[in-house]
């Protein structure tokens, strides 16, 4: 029975470490525009093999991000956009696939491509990167339409060059990529005309620094308690006639 308790304690310690890792990453992204907090999910998985009928491990399953909207901060910058309510900005990922972000801090690269602060090209409703000519003025509409005045033209010579892909795939389909972008788990490209932008504003991270610090303190204390219990069980096993052995 004691060896089973040791397995239970060790798997519990592993899950606490995973929670601490997620909390640390969340805390590091308190100031990241449009960041969505990580929420690791755990599942008990049995061991299979002779002599291990009662063994189980706690493993981290696919992350369940917190999609709650972050606070909207007014910047007044014409290329800063925040999504009103649910929705995403479509971008081209480094591997060429369609990905999504809530980071609306946009810039025009030297090539003319409209990009996020992370350097990801913003795509239009056809899935193509939006590339702009030399412009003296650029505006983004609440529906994502990107317009501008070509250099050398009069201020009233405004031309629409594309419309940002604003999408709203089901939240349960959205998976966080290793590069921090999100992707529709079904691999589908989509647009949603009901998604709108607030121009001249950015969405902040939805991480609560106070909440994360409280969770880290709780997890640290829980880890210490698990460690003490594991030491006590191991000591009892070492003092018995049949020392504990881990299978």
pLDDT at 243: 47
Nearest to 42 by CA among 23, 74, 14: 14
Cβ count within 10 A of residue 64? 13
The strand pairing partners of 197, in sequence order, are 83
- pLDDT score, position 245: 47
Q: Let me know: does 72 contact 198? Beta carbons within 8 Å.
A: yes
Give the residue ranges of the chain where pLDDT is below 70: 1-10, 41-63, 237-247
Which among 85, 98, 31, 61 has a CA at the least distance from the CA of 194?
85
How far is C-alpha 143 from the chain's CA centre? Answer: 24
Spatial distance between the Cα atoms of 10 and 4, rounded to a whole number of angstroms: 10
CA 229 to chain centroid, in Å, comes to 35
Please provide residue 158's backbone torsions phi and psi, each rounded to the nearest 5 degrees. Answer: -90, 135
Question: What's the pLDDT tens digit per position in 17-44?
Answer: 778 888 888 888 888 898 898 877 655 5
Query: Using DSSP, how many helices (H) and how many strands (E) does the chain show?
Result: 2, 16
Select from 137, 140, 101 the least CA-distant residue to 121.
101
**Spatial separation of the C-alpha atoms in residues 38 and 176, rounded to whole Å:** 9
pLDDT in tens, 124-168: 999 999 999 999 999 999 999 999 999 999 888 999 999 999 999
């Amino acid at each position: 029975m004691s060896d089973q308790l040791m397995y239970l304690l060790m798997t519990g310690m592993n899950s606490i470490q995973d929670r601490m890792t997620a909390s640390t990453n969340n805390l590091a992204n308190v100031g990241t525009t449009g960041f969505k907090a990580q929420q690791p999910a755990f599942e008990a998985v049995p061991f299979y093999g002779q002599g291990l009928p009662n063994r189980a491990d706690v493993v981290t399953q696919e992350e369940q991000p917190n999609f709650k909207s972050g606070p909207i901060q007014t910047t007044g910058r014409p290329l800063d956009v925040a999504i009103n309510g649910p929705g995403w900005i479509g971008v081209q990922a480094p591997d060429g696939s369609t990905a999504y972000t809530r980071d609306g801090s946009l810039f025009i690269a030297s090539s003319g491509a409209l990009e996020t602060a992370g350097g990801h090209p913003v795509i239009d409703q056809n899935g193509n990167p939006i590339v702009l000519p030399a412009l003296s003025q650029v505006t983004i509409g609440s529906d994502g339409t990107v317009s501008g005045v070509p250099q050398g033209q009069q201020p009233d010579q405004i031309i629409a060059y594309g419309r940002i892909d604003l999408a709203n795939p089901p939240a349960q389909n959205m998976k966080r990529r290793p590069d921090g972008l999100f992707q529709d788990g079904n691999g589908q490209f989509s647009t949603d005309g009901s998604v709108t932008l607030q121009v001249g504003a950015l969405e902040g991270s939805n991480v609560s620094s106070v909440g994360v610090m409280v969770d880290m303190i709780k997890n640290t204390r829980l880890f210490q308690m698990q460690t003490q219990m594991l030491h006590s069980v191991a000591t009892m096993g070492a003092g018995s006639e049949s020392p504990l052995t881990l299978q």
